[in-house]
Structure 1
Amino acid sequence: MNILLVDDEPLELEQLEYLILKKFPNWKIFKAQDASIALQIVKQHDIFLAFLDIQIPGKTGLELAKELSQSYTIDIIMVTAYQNFEYAQTSIRLGVVDYITKPIIEDELMALLNRYERIGRYSEQIVNALKIIHQEYSEKLTLNYLASKIHINPAYLSRKFQEEVGMGFSEYLNDFRLKEAQKMLIEFPDLSISTISERCGFNSQHYFSQIFRKMTGQSPRDYRLRETFH
């Protein structure tokens, strides 16, 4: 799996590379110190996951994230030295999957990377399907749409998804959406449950609350209260 790290500080790049390879020695790491080098790398290699520092010379990390998400299917994680609410909001709007703050804590990085652990063993077709789900989970995603995007038969994709991922497409999509909703409930206390439900791709707040309770044992509102004051 190809990973891109973008930071203008060579030591930060080396530390991040070291921590990632310690856990995933087979991943291939590409490094860039500014947006223009990063874009050249993305054009030449099929990058699955990118860590972008917000403060880089020329284009900012957020501007680069916007450009990458418009033209490529890449999971993007923002890295910032600032606990800034606006950065977090902008990141979510751009479809960034997560963000971490500097100095990077190894346990936090590993928790974030664990979701990609199995992906390294998936076939290219399933990797491409997951990339689209992670990027477009807020839209009305269907198995047929996904199959057409990666140019394979829907029935074949459904079977392959179940075999490799260990759950069906709909189950995985709902699970991913719920995890994103859990993060949003904590990180954006001012956003209404209805807005979070919509941003995570659920058709109705009622359905969202139903499956949220099924997964966590509590309502979205109770979950937010408990985690916020935990």
Structure 2
Amino acid sequence: MNILLVDDEPLELEQLEYLIQKKFSTCKFFKALDASQALQIVKQHDIFLAFLDIQLPGKSGLDLAAELSRSYTMDIIMVTAFQNFEYAQTSIRLGVVDYITKPVIEEELMEILAKYQRLSRYSEQIIKALQIIQQEYNEKLTLNYLASKIHINSAYLSRKFQEEVGMGFSEYLNDFRLQVAQKMLVDHPELSISTISERCGFNSQHYFSQMFRKTIGQSPRDYRLKETFR
């Protein structure tokens, strides 16, 4: 797994790399002092996770995050010495996955990294495939499309997916969509079941409800009622 660290303070880069290496000793790290260096690295390497300092010389970390989000597939975490609510809001709008402040506290960093620990045992191809699924789950994803995005044969991807993830592509995609739907049912009570079904990438509300009941053990409506009044 390739990790990009961007900060104009070399000591901050070294400290962040040291802390992350404790959890991901086999990861490859790329470090940049500004947005220009970062963009050159991203053009040459498949970056899975990026830590961007907001206060960079020239182009800011937020501007860099916006550019990376438009053109590349990676998870972005913003880092800043300023506890500024406006920065946090902007980061969220850009779709970054998290936001931490300096000095970086090891426990907080470990909490953020915990969700990536499972990925450290996967090959780069499967990591890339999972990342695309998690970002484009609401689209009409197919195995052929996924294989073309990471430039490998679809039959080979299908076999690798089963071997490493322990389930097939379609099963994983449906499971992930259902996880998103569960959260959406509770967090957005104003949305209809049909709208949630569509936003999660299911072809029809009937199929969504059928899969939801089979996997979760109750209908989407019953699940929403139960979780809302818990």
TM-score (normalizing by structure 2): 0.73
Separation of aligned partners in 2, 1:55 and 1:120: 29
Match for residue 212 of structure 2? Answer: 211
Q: Secondary structure at the match of 1:78?
A: strand
Q: Secondary structure at the match of 1:117?
A: helix
Deviation at 1:199, TM superposition (A): 4.8
Match for residue 84 of structure 2? Answer: 82
Cα distance change, pair 179–190 in 1 and its aligned pair in 2 (3 A): closer
Q: Secondary structure at the match of 1:56?
A: coil
1:219 maps to amino acid: Y
Separation of aligned partners in 2, 1:225 and 1:215: 18
Cα distance change, pair 171–193 in 1 and its aligned pair in 2 (3 A): farther
Count of residues paired in the alignment:
220
Separation of aligned partners in 2, 1:120 and 1:62: 27
Cα distance change, pair 4–205 in 1 and its aligned pair in 2 (3 A): farther
Separation of aligned partners in 2, 1:221 and 1:8: 49
Deviation at 1:75, TM superposition (A): 2.5
Structure 2 residue runs without a partner (length 5+): none
Q: How is 1:20-31 mapped onto 2 (pairs within 5 angstroms)?
A: 20-31=20-31
Deviation at 1:184, TM superposition (A): 6.8
Deviation at 1:174, TM superposition (A): 3.5
Q: Secondary structure at the match of 1:167?
A: coil
Whether the aligned pair in 1 keeps the contact of 2:9 and 2:33 (CA below 8 Å) is yes
Cα distance change, pair 196–86 in 1 and its aligned pair in 2 (3 A): farther
Farther-moved stretch of structure 1 (152-161 vs 36-45): 152-161
Cα distance change, pair 101–147 in 1 and its aligned pair in 2 (3 A): same
Farther-moved stretch of structure 1 (20-29 vs 101-110): 101-110
Deviation at 1:23, TM superposition (A): 1.1
Q: How is 1:100-115 mapped onto 2 (pairs within 5 angstroms)?
A: 100-103=99-102, 104-115=104-115
Cα distance change, pair 121–89 in 1 and its aligned pair in 2 (3 A): closer
Q: How is 1:43-62 mapped onto 2 (pairs within 5 angstroms)?
A: 43-62=43-62
Separation of aligned partners in 1, 2:61 and 2:140: 28
Whether the aligned pair in 2 keeps the contact of 1:185 and 1:191 (CA below 8 Å) is yes
Deviation at 1:42, TM superposition (A): 1.4
Cα distance change, pair 152–223 in 1 and its aligned pair in 2 (3 A): same
TM-score (normalizing by structure 1): 0.73
Match for residue 66 of structure 1? Answer: 66
Separation of aligned partners in 1, 2:108 and 2:205: 30
Cα distance change, pair 192–32 in 1 and its aligned pair in 2 (3 A): farther
Cα distance change, pair 169–101 in 1 and its aligned pair in 2 (3 A): same
Whether the aligned pair in 1 keeps the contact of 2:62 and 2:91 (CA below 8 Å) is no
String of CA shifts for 1:99-133, please: whole Å, max 9, x gaps. 13214443443233233334333234323322322
Q: How is 1:174-213 mapped onto 2 (pairs within 5 angstroms)?
A: 174-178=174-178, 192-193=190-191, 199-203=199-203, 207=208, 211=212
Q: How is 1:124-139 mapped onto 2 (pairs within 5 angstroms)?
A: 124-139=124-139
Cα distance change, pair 224–146 in 1 and its aligned pair in 2 (3 A): farther
Q: How is 1:120-159 mapped onto 2 (pairs within 5 angstroms)?
A: 120-159=120-159
2:39 maps to amino acid: L
The structure with more radius of gyration? 2
Determine what percentage of the aligned residue pairs are the same residue.
Answer: 67
